[in-house]
């Protein structure tokens, strides 16, 4: 190596070569000392090199993860492509699009469903959703497309995905989204659904319903036809229905209970005045009614706040607590009424309602309103419990996978 350099440059003489050889020998001694661990500076450089090696290893690990994710996305994209070109009845619209013109449909109805909702899907298929040639005829003649909408499981290619793929081969009425299923991701799933169907089909209306809703297609078509001339119209019932109505109905029931109880008093010339503050049970019911009405108002407002809608566990626990408190206060007032009407000498209670009939009547009405509020919260507790526990999906049996 040294000789080649010397010949290439064409300068220097033999002594210079010796000097170069001596320099090379010195460098060799330095390398030898480094190998023996006698140079601290070289040690630090060695540690730096090990750090760079560790960083490189981490980068390779991250790259492997990225490649794995890309492979999963590629597999999903291929499955979607096969669905569009081979397994979906919309292949005719794809062919029309390839010729330079897309067919115009009246509406696309997406039925939001989950892996654990096979029975619901079968119920929809058996009632209002046409099957086979009837569904194709509905698309061709009426321009109405109906599909179940579902994403993928967290484990790509797992038993849940295989069950859905088998169901799709049998019925051909599912639309798979590039979305990981989860109860807390429903908003993102809805956005993905609308983006997907707009890209697939050119329709006047895009509809989203749940798989526990039975739709009258004729009535829906007639309703949408009345709005056909309106541009960018949005029709929905996102903030109405029994859940919100029950939350709001609790408020006047609680206010009525409080007003009837607080203003309840009666004078008696023989026994004196009787007021609600004379009974701890009535004061307890007033406090619980105030808590109940305030919570119902906050819960109704929270249903409009996006970040709070997904807090299913919070509302589940809160509904259970409020329902329990209403039950305890109602039980306390019921006991007071029983003793006031019937008396009990063992606890020195006389039949007070004989002398304070008006007071007892108002207390009875307040208790009825309190009981109605309890019924509302029992229903709300059941609904919130379903929402909270529906996050956990039951395992799919092998029969469903094979079927």
- Distance, in Å, from the CA atom of 192 to the CA atom of 189, rounded to the nearest integer, reads 5
| Residues pairing with 111 in the sheet | 148, 209
Residues 6+ apart with CB under 8 A from 269: none
Sheet holding 144-152, edge to edge: 174-180, 144-152, 104-112, 202-210
Return mean pLDDT, the chain.
75
Q: Which residue has the higher pLDDT, 95 or 219?
A: 219
Name which of 73-82, 120-129, 193-202 the model is least confident about: 73-82
291-300 pLDDT, tens digit each: 999 998 888 8
pLDDT of residue 239: 47
- Distance, in Å, from the CA atom of 212 to the CA atom of 132, rounded to the nearest integer, reads 22
23-79 pLDDT, tens digit each: 545 554 544 444 444 454 544 555 566 666 566 666 666 666 666 555 555 555 555
What residues does each domain of the chain span?
105-226, 243-390
What single-letter DSSP state applies at residue 241?
A: S
pLDDT of residue 342: 83
Q: Which residue has the higher pLDDT, 151 or 156?
A: 151
How much is the average pLDDT of 105-112?
Answer: 92
What percent of the chain shows pLDDT beyond 90? 26
Which pTM does this prediction carry? 0.44
pLDDT of residue 249: 85
């Amino acid at each position: 190596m040294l000789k080649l350099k010397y010949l290439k440059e064409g300068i220097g003489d033999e002594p210079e070569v010796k000097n170069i050889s001596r320099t090379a020998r010195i460098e060799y001694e330095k390398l030898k000392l480094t190998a023996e661990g006698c140079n601290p500076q070289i040690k630090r450089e060695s540690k730096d090199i090990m750090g760079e090696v560790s960083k490189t290893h981490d980068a390779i690990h991250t790259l492997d993860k990225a490649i794995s994710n890309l492979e999963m996305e590629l597999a999903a994209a291929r499955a979607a492509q096969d669905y569009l070109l081979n397994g979906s009845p919309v292949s005719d619209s794809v062919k029309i699009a390839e010729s330079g013109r897309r067919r115009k449909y009246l509406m696309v109805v997406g039925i939001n469903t989950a892996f654990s909702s096979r029975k619901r899907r079968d119920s929809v298929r058996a009632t209002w959703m046409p099957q086979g040639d009837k569904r194709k005829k509905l698309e061709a003649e009426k321009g109405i497309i109906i599909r179940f909408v579902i994403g993928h499981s967290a484990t790509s290619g797992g038993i849940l995905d295989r069950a859905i793929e088998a169901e799709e081969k049998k019925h051909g009425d599912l639309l798979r989204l590039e979305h990981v299923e989860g109860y807390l991701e429903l908003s993102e799933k809805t956005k993905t659904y609308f983006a997907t169907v707009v890209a697939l089909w050119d329709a006047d209306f895009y509809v989203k319903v749940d798989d526990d809703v039975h739709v009258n297609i004729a009535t829906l078509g007639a309703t949408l036809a009345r709005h056909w001339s309106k541009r960018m119209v949005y029709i929905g019932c996102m903030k109405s229905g029994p859940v919100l109505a029950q939350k709001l109905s609790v408020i006047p029931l609680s206010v009525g209970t409080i007003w009837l109880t607080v203003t309840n008093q009666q004078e008696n010339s023989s026994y004196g005045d009787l007021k609600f503050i004379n009974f701890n049970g009535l004061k307890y019911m007033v406090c619980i009614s105030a808590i109940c009405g305030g919570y119902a108002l906050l819960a109704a407002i929270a249903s409009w706040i996006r970040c709070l809608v997904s807090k299913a566990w919070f509302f589940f626990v809160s509904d259970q607590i409020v329902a329990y408190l209403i039950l305890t206060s109602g039980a306390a007032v019921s006991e007071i009424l029983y003793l006031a009407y019937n008396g009990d000498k063992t606890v020195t209670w006389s039949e007070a309602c004989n002398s304070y009939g008006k007071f007892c009547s108002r207390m009875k009405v307040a208790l009825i309103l309190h009981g109605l509020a309890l019924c509302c919260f029992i229903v709300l507790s059941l609904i919130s419990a379903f929402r909270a526990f529906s996050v956990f999906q039951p395992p799919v049996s092998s029969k469903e996978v094979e079927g």
